[in-house]
Amino acid sequence: MRGKWHPVFLSLLTTLVVLGQAPASTGASPLTVLIAPPDAAGVPSHIVSFAQEHVYEQLKTEGLQVVRASELSQGLPPAQRKAVLGCNRLEAACRITLGEAAVADVVLISELVQFLSGYRVGLRAYATRDGELLAEYYVPGVHEDRILDAFTEASNKVLPSVRRVLRPSQEPAQTPPVTLTPASPATPGAPGVDAARPGPPEWAWMPGAGGVVALGLGTFFVIQAGNNHYRLEHETFDTSEQALAVRNAGMREQALGATAFVLGAAGVATTGALYLLSGKALPGFPVRPTASVGPTGGMVGLVGTLP
């Protein structure tokens, strides 16, 4: 009896094992993402390395299979390495080549560009099947200590769009965040509202800096006018023409000082208006004008660092 039922038991056990593995085989495989070399010309290498590693860890936590550019380089022959990793990533053919070499679904390119107002942080995701853009997101005006947070924000914006195109079957898992998103802009004072508002133009600081210089010049001219007034009251001149020349010089410097003060105030007010209208806080410029006067002349300048 035991020998008669033993083959049947094995057959049922095999069937159960196959049925238990069937759902896993029919599910969509996770996306494979190649993190390509970044667009970060002129940025210190240690900042670029930290940023790339942060993006790698962020994608791993999202359940993606991630391939670093360094890992791809190690797996390529030296002759092919330069052709693949050294191609122009602005061209679709290059992105297709990178994807084929890494056996990836997506080529992700980080962008880190430094401006006077801070770094512009961004991510661009391309499909390797045709090299076309799937999604992109940028965060402007980022200070150095907020770069990693900006890359996290960009990743959270780009990945849902990529999954929606390449893995539609995984989209229902992303439905709860999507239904809550429209309520965020409608809520006054919500963090997302401030992040979405456009910032001031990158040159917004220039009128303020020019205004500071003009205020310094105004200070210099006023001091010079005061010196000429002192000479008129306490010095003795050989001729009336000399006294008249000192008087005229003092009046001219007084007028120039008043004009410089007006222009300086207008420049500072312009910068303040640009930041207020953009909804951003006016940055505190650690700059102040200086003026000094000596027996043979004077000088005016700025102390501090312009943004």
For residue 134, the model assigns a pLDDT of 93
Instruction: Provide DSSP, 56-92.
Output: HHHHHHTT-EEEEHHHHHHTS-HHHHHHHHTS-TTSH
What does each C-alpha distance from 193 to 181, 185, 274, 279, 280 come to in angstroms? 11, 5, 19, 10, 12
What is the separation of C-alpha 103 from the centre of its chain, rounded to a whole number of angstroms? 30
Residue 248 CA to residue 209 CA, distance in Å, equals 31
Phi, psi (5° rounding) for residue 286? Answer: -80, 60
Residue 272 CA to residue 198 CA, distance in Å, equals 16
For residue 240, the model assigns a pLDDT of 79
Parts of the chain with a pLDDT under 70: 1-28, 170-200, 278-307
